[in-house]
Amino acid sequence: MSAAESLLELVTLTKNFGGLVAVKDVSLSVRAGEIVSIIGPNGAGKTTIFNLISAFHRPSAGDIRFLGRSIAGLSPHRVALMGIGRTFQIVKPFPNLTVLQNVMAGAFARTDDIRAAREKAFSVLEMTGLAERAAQPARGLTLGGRKRLEIARCLATDPKVILLDEVVAGLNPREAEETINLIMRLRGLGVSAVAGVEHVMRVVMAISDRIVVLNHGQKIAEGPPAEIARDPQVIEAYLGEEYHHGR
């Protein structure tokens, strides 16, 4: 694919923590509207990649380009305002604010007007199926609800790409399915998604345009889901774990 098409591009991205190499020479390109899944066991470097893209960490080497310009070294809020949204592996809703207020806080990234923010928030809540919980404090939601709220708050900032860290981990099958459906709908909005997933799941295979497999901080495979499922390296890395149904 040509560089002009790509929205987000990682160029030989590397991150060391002291002597530990968390991410090594990872290159990746995400086009507008594309859904890319990064698969890898816990500790494979998924969260580090998300932290690098969203500028919570600085790369040790390599570059991150968004809309054709380098964003390495910017601060997290700048990157967020440019259109890179993220959720956290350990969900971090604003517990003492209501669901609506959580999402409005996100909507204020694009407007200073409270009415506009509220309208935006309500439309996102409708889309994410949280509307009837709008007045409830976020701390009262179930884990599934909190994960969806994270996505909703992120969507309210009008991101061009959304980074979903461990998007289905810990969810029951029904909640996982709802979340997957939500990700499917992002495509319709023209929002790209990069989803971090721990296990090779059929549903993930189904919705992803492309799959990247990480092991020990390095990319060991990349390609369309069908190809990845046949990749011997992947099968080896996930021996006995391939084709998990949603847990």
* Chain residues in the site for other proteins (CB under 8 A): 54, 56, 75-77, 80-81, 85-86, 88, 92-98, 100-101, 104-106, 108-109, 111-112, 114, 117-118, 131-132, 134-137, 140, 153-154, 156-157
Rg of the chain, C-alpha, whole Å: 18
Rounded Cα–Cα distance for residues 23 and 218 (Å)? 6
Q: Which is nearer to other proteins, 50 or 238 (CB)?
A: 50
3-state secondary structure (DSSP) of residue 145: helix
Spatial contact of 70 and 82, defined as CB atoms under 8 Å apart? no
Which CB, 92 or 202, lies closer to other proteins? 92
Closer residue to other proteins, CB minimum distance, 129 or 137 = 137
Considering the complex, state which of residue 60 and residue 136 has its C-beta at the smaller distance from other proteins.
Answer: 136
Q: Is the dihedral of CA 138, 144, 145, 150 positive or negative?
A: positive
* Residue pointed to by tokens 């084709």: 243
- Residue 57 CB, nearest distance to other proteins (Å)? 12
Q: Please report how close the Cβ of residue 58 comes to other proteins at its closest, in angstroms.
A: 14
Strand partners, 6: 31
Beta carbons of 129 and 151 less than 8 angstroms apart:
no
Q: 130 with 152: CB under 8 angstroms?
A: yes
Map tokens 């990064």 to a residue. Answer: 38
The least distance separating other proteins from the CB of residue 198, rounded to whole angstroms, comes to 21
* Residue 100 beta carbon to other proteins: minimum distance, rounded to whole angstroms: 6
106 vs 196 by CB, closer to other proteins? 106
| Distance in Å, CB of 158 to other proteins, minimum | 10
Q: Is the Cβ of residue 10 or residue 53 nearer to other proteins in the bound state?
A: 53
Task: Give me the long-range contacts of 183-189 (CB less than 8 A, separation at least 24).
Answer: 183/35, 183/207, 185/127, 186/35, 186/155, 186/162, 187/33, 187/35
* Residue 94: CB minimum distance to other proteins, A: 3
